[in-house]
Amino acid sequence: MIGRHRHCLALEDFSRAEILEVLDLATSMKEVLRRPIKKVPSLRGKTVVNLFFEASTRTRSSFEIAAKVLSADALNWTASGSSVTKGETLLDTARNLEAMRPDVLVIRHAAGGAPRLVADHVACAVVSAGDGAHEHPTQGLLDAFTIRERLGTLEGKTVAVVGDVSHSRVARSDLHAFRRLGAKVRFCGPPTMMPAGADRLGAEVHHDLRTALEGADAVVMLRIQHERIGDPLIPGTREYSRHWGLDARKARAWLAPGAIVLHPGPINRGVELSPDVADGERSVILDQVQNGVAVRMAILYLLAGGEPAEARA
Ligand code: NCD
């Protein structure tokens, strides 16, 4: 359990205390990752099934490594090559995999709400690894972890989330996590990529990158989610990059000296982020990847019911 939750589906449902429970445990988990022998027996005999209906590099391997460091067995399932191509439904697929008695099902799906639908029909714990443009809760947690690690706290900080906000599940999970932990969130992007009512969600809405970055302590750059966009929403990527992309010149001129740059990956270099910023000293992008393993270890541990003493052994 994470607080009162048997599943990890959306950060909108998580309280500040529940988010902190994950982040604090992830700090101990990160220490395990620094050991020469990265293995603890906490989830021995438990099984984690990764059910990915959408492409993934970081998230899927991160869940797999997290499970293995905790000694759980991990099974990776991808839609291509499975019976989904023969017409099997999401629920049938999930129920059949569940019949093999996993302890945790990790699901990524193009439809918002798919992990919750599965959670309502299976007995094991379900973790969302991203559902459509809805939420990507573990990304929100690892982003919050990374900012807290670098800046000490999110309390009183300002975080700008820039790009294709309306199609980004990362933007929504970041918003909930950052606000619960006391940060002010600015959404910035072209008007066609800003969800209606973004201000009612609690974000300050900007269309001008310069004002969005002014006084920000951290900035999360987002990829244009081409796979979720029908007709083009912008004149072209060059135009987009000129207005909403971050390069070294803009970073130097508009960002405060200690401000950090995050990106969930995959980066479209030269579109939302120039290589000199992505690989530069403000970038914490590879920290995010490493912290992702620690955060997912904490989540698997809490939901699969390991023993606290063992995890920290
Ligand atoms: C993100 C996703 O899939 O939502 N990637 C990730 O999980 N690290 C962001 C993206 O694809 O742009």
pLDDT tens digit string along 174-199? 999 999 999 999 999 999 999 998 88
Task: Quote the ligand 1 centre to 223 CA distance (angstroms).
Answer: 8
83-117 pLDDT tens trace: 777 778 899 988 888 888 999 999 999 999 999 99
Strand arrangement of the beta sheet that strand 260-262 belongs to: 204-206, 184-188, 158-162, 218-221, 260-262
What pLDDT score does 306 carry?
Answer: 67
Q: Is 304 helix (H, G, I), strand (E, B) or coil?
A: helix
> How buried is residue 101: exposed, middle or buried, by Cβ count under 10 Å (0-12/13-18/19+)?
exposed
The one-character DSSP state at 227 is: G
Pocket test for ligand 1, best of 11, 53, 61, 139 (most atoms within 8 A of CB): 139
What ligand 1 atom has the least distance to the C-alpha of 59? Answer: 7
Task: For residue 50, report the distance from its CA to the centre of ligand 1, in Å.
Answer: 16
Domains of the chain: 11-134+289-311 (3.40.50.1370), 137-284 (3.40.50.1370)
Q: Whose CA is nearest to atom 7 of ligand 1?
A: 59
Mean per-residue pLDDT, 10-23: 98
Check pLDDT > 70 for residue 307.
no
Q: Over pLDDT 70: what percentage of the chain?
A: 97
Q: Which of 53, 136, 166, 222 to mutate to test the pocket of ligand 1 (most atoms within 8 A of CB)?
A: 136
Instruction: State the average pLDDT over residues 143-159.
Output: 98
Nearest to 109 by CA among 86, 87, 134: 134
Please write the tens of the pLDDT for every residue from 20-37. 999 999 999 999 999 999
* 258-268 tens-digit pLDDT: 999 999 999 99
pLDDT band at residue 81 under the 50/70/90 scheme: confident
What's the rounded mean pLDDT across residues 160-164?
97
- Report the pLDDT value the prediction gives residue 310, as an integer from 0 to 100: 45
Model pLDDT, residue 210: 98
Q: How many whole angstroms separate alpha carbon 93 and alpha carbon 252?
A: 50
Q: Which atom belonging to ligand 1 lies closest to the Cα atom of 169?
A: 4
pTM of the entire predicted model: 0.95
Top pLDDT among 281 and 226 is at 281
User: How far does the centroid of ligand 1 lie from the alpha carbon of residue 308, in Å?
Assistant: 30
CA of 94 relative to ligand 1 center, distance in Å: 22
pLDDT of residue 216: 98
**pLDDT at position 232 over 70:** yes
Provide, rounded to the nearest whole percent, the portion of the chain with pLDDT above 90.
84
